[in-house]
Amino acid sequence: MKTIRLTMAQALVKFLDAQYVEFDGRENKFVTGMFGIFGHGCVVGLGEALAAKGHGIRFYQAKNEQGGAHAAMGYAKQNNRLRMMAATSSIGPGALNMVTAAATATVNHIPVLLLPSDSYACRQPDPVLQQVELPDDPTNTANDAFRAVSRYWDRVNRPEQLMTAMINAFRVLTDPAETGAVTVALPQDVQGEAYDYPEEFFRKRVHHIERRIPTAAQIDRAAALLRAAKKPLVICGGGVRYSAAGEALEQFCASFRIPFAETQAGKGTVLWDNPYNLSGIGTTGSLAANKLAKEADLIIAAGTRLGDFTTCSKWLFQNPAVKILGINLASSDAYKMDAEPIVADAKLTLEALTGAAAGYSSSWGDKIKAAKDEWNREVDRLYAIDDSQGLAQSRVLGELNDVCLPRDAIALSGSGSIPSDMQRVWRTRVPGAYHMEYGFSCMGYEIAAALGVKIGFPDREVVAIVGDGAYTMLHTELLTAVQEKQKIIVVVCDNAGFHCIDNLQHSQGIDHFGNEWKARDAASGRLEGASVQVDYAKNAESWGAIGLRVRTAAEFREAVKTALAADRPVVIDAKVLPKSMTNGYESWWRVGTAQVSQNPEVEKAAREMAAETARAKQF
């Protein structure tokens, strides 16, 4: 057996460089780069290996470890999980900064390889700088915090352990049902230790992403459910997108006159003007989707996790005869809400079901078109709001979506009220041009992910639409975008606070408290003084980006025109009216409202919450 003597870190880089994936006959390099911040835990180990020439893993200098991992996630998500990046850090605080990103990737089933450095495997210098010393268990380090948020977790305590660790890591990263964050902790001494690795470990590996074929019995059961239904409704989840099942869904719905609604991950798989597309569903859904969902007697949940926003906390499907058909590669998702599970590929299942149920037609009749037309009129109204008091947030989205941006521009967001607005009203005109992280609703994802998307799609405009709360949470990768000469456009809808949560707070009878950008009042000692004003354009300029300030729709159009013509990152600071986001449309969300309070409005809200909770499905 031929061997090659390398350090563990050098072997890791060489291995990553040789990984490929194949899906539907198309093969491409899987790992293309690595985000990271070098510290004493990795700079002389993995850093030395990356600094060497002769490999194809491009290094990107992150400014925050969470931001770097989110950029890697954005890259993989926009590439439909067929390309990915890794992220590395020093030990201790640098590693723990990536835990939130790990959870975000795992919840969304997005492949990201996290390589946090760890304390010494030999333990001789312990406790080292940034080491969390736990006297009761010396094997437990800060990196054990990743266990709860990773689909696969390992620690390489000897250089030869790298081989089994990486094989298992890529087993998970390339599995559509299991993929998410994979964490492999790298002790800083082991990174530099040499070993005679077999040459075959570094051969080109092609990981074949196979479609799971539904069985004839599964299709028979699904077809029987469909034929027994009068008003079926499809939920288009992220699994439809990653399965490349958009055309299959269109054919299925057209054949049987079945409407479909979109989750955040599934939105944009089929274009907005498809006659059966009702837009978003659930707590942040459209009026059209939610009205029809209440009548539906069969919910075909295709590639969705059936999260509480999609189901309105299991309250939305109110037909007493309703049944659920779960089509999902992940059995844990296919079985949710007591569904009839079809653990198989979405595309193949929809195609097979279209053939098996030939001749069937739903009883929706004209209701689909009437609901869609009504909703289109509402979106037109929201897009055109002209308020003398200032710029409405829904108008900002309308200007971007209907007037300013190229049809193939990739619009991206991830937290606050903007995802709610976009799931309802954004009109996707090119497949895959809608990019939303809402499985974890992670503030701070947006700008970092926009950088990752732009790296993967340099010829397309990438626009991150964020609230001021999300911008202040994490915007440091704007500097990385400047450094990498990656032109992203960031639109900050500044309403001076966390108004999405303020809305939730006030809806439950609680006085406005702690969510608005207010100075502390000297008399009361509470955050209820004058509004704090921030110049986000000036902040952007300090990073080396272009900063633009707007207060009107006309100014906004000019700013977007300037941004599209720019050759470097642009931040548009749009001062929008508080509470000018869209509202719920026949939806509900279960929250833990206080049952006992000094405020009678809170107790009233709790009673109303209990009454609606009783209407929700109890499984």
Residue 619 has pLDDT above 80, yes or no: no
At a CB cut-off of 8 Å and minimum separation 6, what does 459 contact? none
Task: Read off the pTM.
Answer: 0.97
Token pair belonging to 246 = 């958009």
**Residue 607: left (phi > 0), alpha (psi -120 to 50), or beta?**
alpha
CATH entry, 216-371, from 3.40.50.2300, 3.50.50.60, 3.20.20.220, 3.40.50.1220 = 3.40.50.1220
Residue 469 has pLDDT above 90, yes or no: yes
Q: How far apart are CA 21 and CA 32, in angstroms?
A: 12
Residue 335 has pLDDT above 90, yes or no: yes
- Residue 59: what pLDDT? 98
Q: What is the DSSP letter of 391?
A: B
Token pair belonging to 550 = 């707007």
Q: How far apart are CA 275 and CA 259, in angstroms?
A: 8
Which residue intervals of the chain bear CATH 3.40.50.970?
3-208, 384-496+533-575
- Residue 1: what pLDDT? 87
What amino acid occupies position 492?
V
pLDDT digits (tens, 9 = 90+) for 293-331: 999 999 999 999 999 999 999 999 999 999 999 999 999
Q: How far apart are CA 494 and CA 417, in angstroms?
A: 12
User: If you average pLDDT over residues 247-263, what whole number do you get?
Assistant: 98
**Domain spanning 384-496+533-575 has what CATH number?**
3.40.50.970
- Residue 515: what pLDDT? 87
Q: How far apart are CA 30 and CA 581, in angstroms?
A: 39
Q: How far apart are CA 619 and CA 612, in angstroms?
A: 15
Residue 617 has pLDDT above 90, yes or no: no
Which residue intervals of the chain bear CATH 3.40.50.1220?
216-371
Angle at which helices 499-507 and 417-425 cross, to 10°: 90
What amino acid occupies position 3?
T
According to CATH, the topology of domain 3-208 is Rossmann fold (3.40.50)
Q: What does pLDDT average to over the chain?
A: 96
